[in-house]
Amino acid sequence: MAKGRIGRSMQTYGTTIPFCRSIASSSFKTDNLTNEGKHRLRIVGWYMKNGKNASLTGRRYGYHRNTISCWVKRYQKKGILGLNDLPKTPLSKPRKKATVATVLKVVELREQFPSFSKYKIKHLLENVHSISVRAK
């Protein structure tokens, strides 16, 4: 035993302590939580401990009850990491409206018939040139 140390250091490997594996995995997950996620986890924990009352929890922490319910649902569905901020990017990217060939055909028809409306050009494209388009 080294001088100045009281007792011995104890190291535990594997799962000799009950639920040790789940504790270790949850600590790994909380390392990936943002500060906002940790705050939400505290709020959801308080919600679970105190009767699962979203209104009371909201009043205590200054959030609307719908916000609390949303966080609880995300926690139940996705676990601890579900409390992180959601990405701000859109779920789908805007798709191209028309192909290059269609655009060139529209330009050609506009030059040929400058007084035609978009509806007449759409009619020409669909019936004469067999190109389907949407007129806005």
Q: Is residue 64 part of a domain?
A: yes
54 and 79 in a common domain: yes
* Residue 91 vs residues 21, 85, 96: alpha-carbon distances, Å: 35, 15, 16
74 and 24 in a common domain: yes
How many Cβ atoms sit within 10 Å of the Cβ of residue 40? 26
pLDDT (tens digit per residue) in 37-93: 999 999 999 999 999 999 999 999 999 999 999 999 999 999 888 899 888 888 888
Q: Is residue 105 part of a domain?
A: yes
Domain of 112 in residue numbering reads as 96-136
79 and 26 in a common domain: yes
Instruction: Provide the CB-side half-sphere exposure for 15 (13 A, CA).
Output: 7
pLDDT (tens digit per residue) in 92-105: 888 777 888 888 99
28 and 69 in a common domain: yes
